[in-house]
Structure 1
Amino acid sequence: MRAGIATGKDDRARDDKARRRKLARHLVAVQEEQRLRLSRELHDDLGQMLASVALELHNVRADSAELDARLARAAQLIDQLSARVHDAAWSLRPADLERLGLRTSIEDLAGMLCAQLGIPCDVDLEALSRPLEPEIGLTLYRIAQEALTNIGKHAKPSRVSVTAHIRGNRLRLAVEDNGHGFDADVAPGSQHLGLAGMKERLALIGGELTVETAKGKGTAIYADVLLTG
């Protein structure tokens, strides 16, 4: 009798866990849909209006040299604002993620960072060529995005590695650098908050984040997710 009761409790616990995970995945999907909508609004509406204003300013022919200089400055500011709107829209929901796929999108992120830093970049993302659930793909992209952003801001490495491998039914995305590293035991800063966000995002889809780092020893970030298909 007791064994039956225990089995019933275990079944209910598993069902509750499955429902929570399903709800968490739904919340991630809703969040990303909101990001997509805002990204499109930024790009299509604001971007188009800024482009129209910039065109009008560029077409103005002023008689006064002083007025001409001010209009030129205004046009320059509009151009800069347009670029920032574009960057914000891309950050919210990069179009390349849907158009090119996860593998190419992360390869582009890594390539851009390493080009900016002028350092070698080892990339092996063949494992990301396979179809993944949308929530998993979005989460892995955000992990790579945050990790590479942190490298650009803090690490000052001479080499970066971005790889993905599948072992059994688990996929691991690894972002590694040989830069400054940091003390994981110190009070949280912006980099630590970014890591906390990665952990929370992975936990929503049943994944796990592992960070290996030390001052002067570089940093390795491993994102592990369970493949269901």
Structure 2
Amino acid sequence: MARRLIAVQEEQRLRLSRELHDDLGQMLASLTLELHNARSIYGELDGRLARAAVLVDQLSTKVHDAAWNLRPADLDRLGLRASVEDLATMLCAQLGIPCDVDLEALSSPLPGEIGLTLYRIAQEALTNIGKHARPSRVSVTAHIHDHRMRLAIEDDGHGFDNHVEPGPGHLGLAGMKERLALVGGELTVETAKGKGTAVYADVPLTG
């Protein structure tokens, strides 16, 4: 039942992502074009039209980001490796910090359920880093050993006390564990206050 629920959620994410990108995105693009045309006709309103155009551009960016977060096109078009690399590089660019990425192990195709699970783990872990960690460096790596895939997301940020109940900002850890359990995987979190955090997702590739 839990597996079917996640599958339905992903189907809904895909549908909403396409609707945001294709329908709303096209409407905003048309509106931007109309605003630019209006600026060339109504010179006295140019200042207000320019501000309106800026707001539409900002809204277009937010719609694109929302669609990407729901279901990035790269996940279906380019694969897991490119999608996780994009997650990591985008976060590090936003934070202005170095990012060590080694995801060669994700180049080979994985069963859809495992690939999607690893993507969601990376997404949640990197989102937590962006919200809470304040790191100076982030590392995202993947390796295969003894027929098991290990995805590691590490940072040298604030960390947290892993021996107490997680606060609201870390509730995603429970969802990560549940997702991995459905594909026979395990989640390990190593952290301490002021010592950074390492999130390890281990998934069997056989059986």
What's the TM-score, normalizing by structure 1?
0.82
Whether 1:49 and 2:27 are equivalent positions in the alignment is: yes
Q: Which of 177, 189, 192 is the aligned partner of 1:199?
A: 177
Q: How does 1:20-169 map to 2 (within 5 A)?
A: 23-60=1-38, 61-64=41-44, 67-169=45-147
1:178-226 deviation line (CA, Å, top 9, x unaligned): 1111123455434311222212222222222111110011000011112
Aligned to 2:159, the other structure's residue is in SS state: coil
Q: Which of 177, 180, 196 is the aligned partner of 2:155?
A: 177
Letter in 2 for 1:117: L
Give unmatched runs, 5+ long, in structure 2.
none
Percent identity at matched positions? 81
8 A contact 2:128–2:170 mirrored in 1:
no
Moved over 6 A (4+): none
8 A contact 1:28–1:204 mirrored in 2:
no
Larger radius of gyration: 1
1 CA distance for matches of 2:35 and 2:96?
37
2 CA distance for matches of 1:73 and 1:189?
40
2 CA distance for matches of 1:143 and 1:173?
9
2 CA distance for matches of 1:84 and 1:120?
25
Give unmatched runs, 5+ long, in structure 1.
1-22
1:134-192 deviation line (CA, Å, top 9, x unaligned): 11101101111111121122212222111111222321111011111112345543431
RMSD: 1.8
What's the TM-score, normalizing by structure 2?
0.90
8 A contact 1:25–1:135 mirrored in 2:
no
Aligned to 1:184, the other structure's residue is in SS state: coil
User: How many residues end up aligned between the 2 structures?
Assistant: 205
Aligned to 1:228, the other structure's residue is in SS state: coil
